[in-house]
Chain A
Amino acid sequence: AQSVSQHNHHVILSEAASLELGCNYSYGGTVNLFWYVQYPGQHLQLLLKYFSGDPLVKGIKGFEAEFIKSKFSFNLRKPSVQWSDTAEYFCAVIDNNDMRFGAGTRLTVKP
């Protein structure tokens, strides 16, 4: 079965620092990839998604992610984080209509 790995459980950054959160998946076929964000006390919201085409995907709030097929990765990036980016971030992968989520990475941005 498909598995999704997010290696960083908790990341702490200062404002204006650059962010990269790792996401790796195990399936070797065609996949659809997502990053969701969950702000404190709120429900999950879609940040960005990749289905096909340009492997560099831009999402909301200045986030982007790059699909690297050879590395089975879909890492999330942001050049300069803000305090309001404090949240939990989930990577998700769909293959053959089976959607799996990673365990999540908690991001804390210090003002």
Chain B
Amino acid sequence: NAGVTQTPKFRILKIGQSMTLQCTQDMNHNYMYWYRQDPGMGLKLIYYSVGAGITDKGEVPNGYNVSRSTTEDFPLRLELAAPSQTSVYFCASSYDRGLETQYFGPGTRLLVL
């Protein structure tokens, strides 16, 4: 099992550009999550999904969009990048939300200039 994989590892964007952060898991997990990690702030949940075709907002969804067309993939889209979106983004998955451990991907470091 590769677990949770994320691409790219690092990206620099100009203000106003758009991009998609890719996330794939091969553990057949129902739940998938996107977090952003900022220094001294811990992890904040952006969006999550309870299964293919179902997504919901987390704590900090503004400026982002997601889709979940398959169990394996959960891409995160930034439509108009802003400097405030400079962060490290982690994708995670779990079999269930409440009782199961979340498994994290290696992260994508995004710099918006």
With an 8 A cutoff between CB atoms, is B106 at the interface? yes
Collect the chain A residues with CB atoms within 8 Å of residue B105's CB. Answer: 43
Q: A45–B105 Cα gap in the complex (Å)? A: 10
With an 8 A cutoff between CB atoms, is A34 at the interface? yes
Contact between B104 and A44, CB atoms less than 8 A apart: yes
Contact between B102 and A99, CB atoms less than 8 A apart: yes
Stretch from A11-19, A70-78, A101-109 contacting the other chain? A101-109
Contact between B99 and A46, CB atoms less than 8 A apart: no
User: Closest CB of chain B to A87's CB: distance in Å?
Assistant: 14
Partner pick for A99 among B45, B90, B106, CB 8 A cutoff: B45
Q: A100–B60 Cα gap in the complex (Å)? A: 12
Q: Which DSSP category, helix, strand, loop or mixed, fits chain A's interface?
A: strand
Contact between B99 and A101, CB atoms less than 8 A apart: no
A4's nearest neighbour on chain B, judged by CB, is B42
User: Closest CB of chain B to A99's CB: distance in Å?
Assistant: 7
Partner pick for A49 among B59, B92, B101, B107, CB 8 A cutoff: B101
With an 8 A cutoff between CB atoms, is A32 at the interface? yes
B38's nearest neighbour on chain A, judged by CB, is A103
Contact between A97 and B42, CB atoms less than 8 A apart: no
B45's nearest neighbour on chain A, judged by CB, is A99
User: Closest CB of chain A to B39's CB: distance in Å?
Assistant: 9
Known interface pairs A44-B90, A44-B104, A99-B102. Does A9 touch B40 (Cβ–Cβ under 8 Å)? yes
Contact between B106 and A42, CB atoms less than 8 A apart: yes
With an 8 A cutoff between CB atoms, is B2 at the interface? no
Collect the chain B residues with CB atoms within 8 Å of residue A43's CB. Answer: 90, 104-107
Collect the chain A residues with CB atoms within 8 Å of residue B40's CB. Answer: 9, 103-104
- What are 12 A-B contacts defined by CB distance under 8 Å? A6-B42, A32-B99, A34-B101, A44-B104, A46-B102, A51-B99, A92-B43, A94-B98, A97-B98, A99-B97, A101-B44, A102-B42
